[in-house]
Structure 1
């Protein structure tokens, strides 16, 4: 079989991959390499220490904040959104619970329906992106969307539901969502380079997100200036290796909660997979992963307990990660 490094290098050359890739097996690193440019205008290369946006990869961290608050008794899975919303977002049904939102079974209307999104680069936020810097400011985006189905009736992937979870976590705890992620997830997981960053003041180690295969146009006008519960945190491939170790070791939430989160709550036949509480699950087998795709961002990080394999692919291009994910997925399926 072709050596893993050689296979990834070839896929990177074919696709023009820009980003970082890491694979570990049984705690031993087998591959860790960066490709492409973090800043095309200045010719700054990506490195294994470059910070990349993760888009919806953030949802798993949001789910862990919420489950951590459940363990503390601050929330319950049966807590209704309405009990914390008051008069805000009146179109959200009174019986929608935390568990419905975690499992994408809330039935609420979504501000960003990915089933109707043909081109991620063409999507623009319905309000000026610089006005989305706190979770409370997202109320304008969440408001006005009619209920799609009764709570609990069916699975429908919902970005707005995870923004709502961040809002509910803030209101229940009295602590800002970004601080909750830092103290309840990043720090116990040892994710030293994981944080929400403003897109209009990125540090030198952060990669710019590019809309196209070439050219200088970035995603700064397409995404909220500061992410929240449904996406936007920046991280590294190394941090997500640390994340999976901490998650399955019960250092973020208890092992019982981990089992609950990675147990199937819904089938997702259109995508040939299942879904737990904040985590994607393989249709068969025990692979668990987080993924995200947005304008100028693509991300996947997977752990398979039965083989002790973990891999992370992060790219600063809209669909850049997927050719590399395909290579790693094939290698994982072949167990070689």
Structure 2
């Protein structure tokens, strides 16, 4: 099913079983033309507030793509370089970060820095609904606040030796960008990503002060995620966005309204394969095992998100959910329907 412009009813029917208990938004578009868009379930359960297609959702690690684009913008402006070392901006902070770690390695998850959320890289991954933060959530309200969370994490391997997905690496990128530009990281993303793409509904919101348009995230037993995640996200996750803004992001990125073509190409060029899955990674973006598509995705307590864009056809499908696992059955079905 390559196009569903005249098949809204058919697609709704095809998604029926996987959206029955789903909370979130599903969107399919080609370029700027919306072919299907619908909202499901509650945005806030206590007062019965429904999700709408304009609702803002947390996108967890989907934020890493925004971080990579913002850093690429700073590189283009001469504020950072790909070979800038972390140590050159950290000073005496985080002494366990290897002196050879560079911006390029952090972007590609080859830095080897210790992970603040999953410090035991050899053990089983924590359940997203567990309490995993090493410091109180309220302490993580700005980028500098994350230094305490990153502290004491031993280097996992020599920089550049291999690929290992790292949340700490992208927090560190945000910290380096903020220090190099002398500008708060959320403002940098606003300047280098949100403004040129006209993503006026995207922001780094505080989870303890969400606006009326934002969905509350819920974990499996119905609790909100406010005690599970940083009160305000950073380079590794925590941005809020909408289906419309993500559509504008993809079209703007590949139309060179955010970055020049050669810098976009460097971000989405496959560099590594994830062991066990075969899917590929560029800098801030996932890529399927084969084909031209580019993917942003994220999963955390009360958040699941995936947005897939094919720059050759302009086809985009996005699923945003305010539950931990709600997006996955829906996005898998869309993969099958739209291949």
TM-score in terms of structure 2 length: 0.94
2:283 and 2:290 map into 1 onto residues whose CA distance is: 17
Write out the 4+ residue segments of structure 1 that deviate beyond 6 Å after TM superposition.
Answer: none
Q: Given the alignment, which residue of 220, 240, 243 partners 1:234?
A: 240
2:28 and 2:91 map into 1 onto residues whose CA distance is: 46
Aligned to 1:332: 338
Q: Deviations over 1:235-272 (max 9, x none)?
A: 10110000000011111111000011100111113232
**Which has the larger displacement, 155-164 or 24-33?**
24-33
1:211 and 1:288 map into 2 onto residues whose CA distance is: 28
Does structure 1 conserve the Cα–Cα contact (< 8 Å) formed by 2:117 and 2:134?
no
Aligned to 1:4: 11
Query: Post-superposition shift, 1:118?
Result: 3.7
Q: Given the alignment, which residue of 128, 131, 135 partners 2:136?
A: 128
Unaligned runs of 5+ in 2: 2-6
Q: Deviations over 1:84-105 (max 9, x none)?
A: 0011100001110000000000
1:1-336 aligned at under 5 Å gives the runs 3-13=10-20, 16-113=21-118, 116-212=124-220, 215=222, 217-333=223-339
Q: Deviations over 1:168-213 (max 9, x none)?
A: 000100100010011110010111100011111111111110002x
1:26–1:171: structure 2 CA closer, same or farther, 3 Å change rule? closer
Does structure 2 conserve the Cα–Cα contact (< 8 Å) formed by 1:124 and 1:221?
no
Unaligned runs of 5+ in 1: none
Q: Deviations over 1:249-302 (max 9, x none)?
A: 111111000011100111113232000010001111111010000000000111
Tell me the SS of whatever aligns to 1:270: coil
1:8 and 1:242 map into 2 onto residues whose CA distance is: 24
2:323 and 2:313 map into 1 onto residues whose CA distance is: 30
Q: Higher helix proportion, which one? A: 1
Tell me the SS of whatever aligns to 2:53: coil
Q: Deviations over 1:16-52 (max 9, x none)?
A: 1100010012432111100000011101100001111
1:181 and 1:76 map into 2 onto residues whose CA distance is: 17
Q: Deviations over 1:6-25 (max 9, x none)?
A: 11233201xx1100010012
